[in-house]
Amino acid sequence: MMEYDSLIARAAAEMRPSGIRKFFDIAAEMKDCISLGVGEPDFKTPWTIREAGIDSLQKGHTWYTSNAGLAELRKEICTYLKRRFDMDYEPAETLVTVGGSEAIDMCIRALVNPGDEVLIPEPCFVCYNPITTLTGGVAVPIPLKAENGFKLTADELRRAITPKTKLLVFPFPCNPTGAVMRREDMEPLAEVLRETNVMVLSDEIYAELTYGHERHVSISTLPGMRERTIVVNGFSKAHAMTGWRLGYACGPQPVIKVMTKIHQSAIMCAPTTSQYAAVTALRSCDSDIESMRDEYDMRRRYLVQALNGMGLTCFEPQGAFYVFPCIKKSGLSSDDFCKKLLYSKKVAVIPGPAFGECGEGFVRISYSYSIKHLTEAMRRIRQFLDEECGV
Amino acid sequence: MEKLLKLLESDARLSVEELAVMTGKTPEEVAQRMDDYKASHIINGYRAIVDWERAEVARVQAIIELRVSPRRDCGFDEIAQSLAELEEVDSVMLMSGGYDLALVVTGKSFQDIALFVARRLAPIDGVLSTATHFVLRTYKRDGVRFGGDPHDERECVL
């Protein structure tokens, strides 16, 4: 009999399983349950992109591509980043990956030695911490505050940096809070970073989904930051291509080269069909992005007002497709709030602590759902607060 | 305010307050705009989309292709307007292609519609021919899928 418990690598065994998996399995089985838990667009991939994928298959493009990705795609990525965000990258500074997630993994593995500290502003997407730990690094959370709009401040950053700090994860626009760092918010951070050798992993997967007149600004475009930043982006959110698993990283060539070397051993190359489809996504789908963003924006405004109206204080998120209301008024912990809401009103939302301990007192609500879904969900949450919490 | 029209077209029961926050206008502006749309017949009514089959109410629908002779000075308008007067007729549309007008007609039974075509439609002056196609089942109407939306395949992920 094999004793698997003793065979599994310690670091892997110690990875915390997702506490909410079971919770959402229950939700999935529940009839008439409204789940507001997903982290992907409700839109289907625009047809022209799907057609480009089909066309590549019909033409028999079914082999591996070069490790770093199709030359044509890397060139298009650079053109797109220039056009949309005024970022300057060369194809040789670009690596095409299996989703943004792989780019994050490659970046951390390329930079972090055992014992190196990785600063992770929380609440945030859940992968940075385990990947850091598996690499032998030390994850150092920086708890962000609601009163700062969940933005990272220069003081918080300065206090967290030690001689062991190797990397700052910079995940904005942010999942789950929807916080966005504007240029003026980032300038003081850049000032701190320029005096150090700390590298920045800027996860910009939601870059296209910012609301209001100001466009997303990449920290890499601030003076002195390009040389110390790896930008991660991808097609999942902006182009509604989650299932195609395609992302990319751009950064200084010496780092991208090493990331490509690891990628070559671990992955070989990103899916070929997805890469061909992505060329079309970048060339001809800006208007699809705009119309999806308009729709998200409308839902966002609706949710913020509805939640504030029922006493769940919700700061106005400026990006991504999540709202992160404070549920402290209910008198319940985040976990209890989510469980009770699920069992009594069949609405599933995600407890804030799933994204870091400082998320206690908050829940994440995704608005990648139709208005019809959202209005019904808000009606049920309002009833829940009236009946169960006396709010 | 195309946004407002699109929202109302997808769900006319959204409140003025909800519509206002979604479109970034004040409730007063939205209410005023809705009144204007009604007055200028841009909005021609608000109604439910009913699946009569599911309600088990006997109702038959047919699409009728009509070839008609256009009249001097008013083309197809006059005959289209007089067809629109008929109670059984739900929709009247001027078409391109092999026929001129398409009607959507509702009755209680197939025979009901057949009699309507034979007795009321065919004899109208200017009607050259009719071709009646009965609707056997409706899967989607006005952008709404009957029987509910398809199952959301997406998994809950962080």
3-state secondary structure A221-268: HCCCCHHHEEEEEECCCCCCCHHHCCEEEECCHHHHHHHHHHHHHHCC
The closest CB to that of A40, out of B3, B22, B154, belongs to: B154
| Residue of A274, A19, A15 whose CA lies nearest to A133 | A15
Residue A38 to residue B18, Cβ atoms within 8 A? no
DSSP string across A27-84: HHHSTT-EE----S-SSPPPHHHHHHHHHHHHTT--S---TT--HHHHHHHHHHHHHH
Contacts of B3 in chain A (CB under 8 A): 294, 298
Per cent of chain A over pLDDT 70 is: 99
Give the H or E element holding residue B140.
Answer: strand B140-141
Contacts of A355 in chain B (CB under 8 A): 158
Classify residue B93 by its DSSP letter. E
Please state, in angstroms and rounded to a whole number, the distance separating the CA atoms of residues A202 and A183: 14
Q: Which two tokens stand for residue A343?
A: 């069992």
Contacts of B7 in chain A (CB under 8 A): 298, 371
Q: Which two tokens stand for residue A292?
A: 């999806």
Residue B157 to residue A40, Cβ atoms within 8 A? yes
pLDDT band at A31 (very low <50, low <70, confident <90, very high): confident
Contacts of A352 in chain B (CB under 8 A): none
Please state, in angstroms and rounded to a whole number, the distance separating the CA atoms of residues A268 and A283: 25
Please state, in angstroms and rounded to a whole number, the distance separating the CA atoms of residues A295 and A118: 36
Residues A45-99 have pLDDT tens digits of 999 999 999 999 999 999 999 999 999 999 999 999 999 999 999 999 999 999 9
Q: Which two tokens stand for residue A227?
A: 């040389």
Please state, in angstroms and rounded to a whole number, the distance separating the CA atoms of residues A213 and B30: 22
| Residue of A297, A348, A359 whose CA lies nearest to A325 | A359
Contacts of A371 in chain B (CB under 8 A): 7, 10-11, 14, 22
Nearest CA in chain A to B18: A302
Name the class of domain A4-44+287-385.
alpha beta
Q: What angle do CA A17, A23, A28 make, to 5 degrees?
A: 120
Q: What is the structure's pLDDT at B71?
A: 82
- Report the gap between the CA of B49 and the closest CA in chain A (Å): 15
- Report the gap between the CA of A42 and the closest CA in chain B (Å): 8
From residue A88, alpha-carbon distances to A81, A92, A307, B76 in Å are 7, 12, 40, 60
CATH architecture type of domain B60-137: 2-Layer Sandwich (3.30)
Question: Which residues partner with A364 through β-bridges?
Answer: A350
Q: Which two tokens stand for residue A66?
A: 């070069």
Task: Say if CB A173 and CB A214 are below 8 A apart.
Answer: no
Residue A298 to residue B7, Cβ atoms within 8 A? yes
Task: Say if CB B61 and CB B102 are below 8 A apart.
Answer: no
Nearest CA in chain B to A176: B158
User: A94: exposed, middle or buried (C-beta count within 10 Å: 0-12, 13-18, 19+)?
Assistant: buried
Contacts of A350 in chain B (CB under 8 A): 156, 158
- Report the gap between the CA of A175 and the closest CA in chain B (Å): 8
Please state, in angstroms and rounded to a whole number, the distance separating the CA atoms of residues A244 and A236: 8
Please state, in angstroms and rounded to a whole number, the distance separating the CA atoms of residues A377 and B8: 19
| Residue of A89, A69, A21, A61 whose CA lies nearest to A252 | A89
Task: Say if CB B105 and CB B89 are below 8 A apart.
Answer: yes
Name the class of domain A47-285.
alpha beta
Please check the confidence at residue A199 and state whether its pLDDT lies above 80: yes
Question: Which residues partner with A201 through β-bridges?
Answer: A169, A230
Q: Estimate to the nearest angstrom the gap between the alpha carbon of B29 and the chain centroid.
A: 28
Q: What angle do CA B22, B26, B32 make, to 5 degrees?
A: 105
Q: Which two tokens stand for residue B139?
A: 């899967």
Q: Which two tokens stand for residue B110?
A: 């197939």
Question: Which residues partner with B64 through β-bridges?
Answer: B103, B132
Residues A334-389 have pLDDT tens digits of 999 999 999 999 999 999 999 999 999 999 999 999 998 999 999 999 999 998 87
DSSP string across A103-128: HHHHHHHHHPPTT-EEEEEES--TTH
Please check the confidence at residue A19 and state whether its pLDDT lies above 70: no
Residues of A with CB under 8 A from a CB of B: 18, 20, 24, 27-28, 35, 37-40, 42, 125-126, 175-176, 294, 298-299, 301-302, 305-306, 348, 350, 354-355, 370-372, 375
Q: How many Cβ pairs within 8 Å bridge chains A and B?
A: 56
- For chain B (158 residues), the mean pLDDT of every run of 10, in chain order, is 89 93 94 96 94 92 95 88 94 96 96 95 93 95 86 76
Residues of B with CB under 8 A from a CB of A: 3, 7, 10-11, 14, 18, 21-24, 149, 152, 154-158
Residue B18 to residue A27, Cβ atoms within 8 A? no
* 3-state SS record for A167-192: EEEECCCCCCCCCCCCHHHHHHHHHH
Give yes or no for a cis peptide into A130 (omega within 30° of 0): no
Nearest CA in chain A to B144: A372
Domain boundaries, chain A: 4-44+287-385, 47-285
ipTM value for the complex: 0.76
Could you give phi then psi for residue A29, rounded to 5 degrees?
A: -85, -15
Task: Say if CB A21 and CB B138 are below 8 A apart.
Answer: no
Please check the confidence at residue A205 and state whether its pLDDT lies above 90: yes
- Report the gap between the CA of A286 and the closest CA in chain B (Å): 19
From residue A286, alpha-carbon distances to A73, A88, A111, A239 in Å are 16, 19, 33, 9
The closest CB to that of A301, out of B11, B24, B149, belongs to: B24
B154 CB contacts (<8 Å, ≥6 apart)?
Answer: A38, A40, A42
Could you give phi then psi for residue A81, rounded to 5 degrees?
A: -65, -35
Domain boundaries, chain B: 2-39, 60-137
- The residue of A203, A242, A302 whose CB has the most chain B CBs within 10 angstroms, and thus the best one to mutate to test that interface, is A302
pLDDT band at A16 (very low <50, low <70, confident <90, very high): confident
Please check the confidence at residue A11 and state whether its pLDDT lies above 80: yes
Residue A42 to residue B154, Cβ atoms within 8 A? yes
| Residue of A329, A323, A326, A307 whose CA lies nearest to A379 | A307
Query: Within 13 Å, how many C-alpha atoms sit on residue A129's CB side?
Result: 19
Residue A301 to residue B154, Cβ atoms within 8 A? no
Please check the confidence at residue A207 and state whether its pLDDT lies above 80: yes
Amino acid making up residue B78: E
Residues A260-316 have pLDDT tens digits of 999 999 999 999 999 999 999 999 999 999 999 999 999 999 999 999 999 999 989
| Residue of A98, A51, A95 whose CA lies nearest to A73 | A95
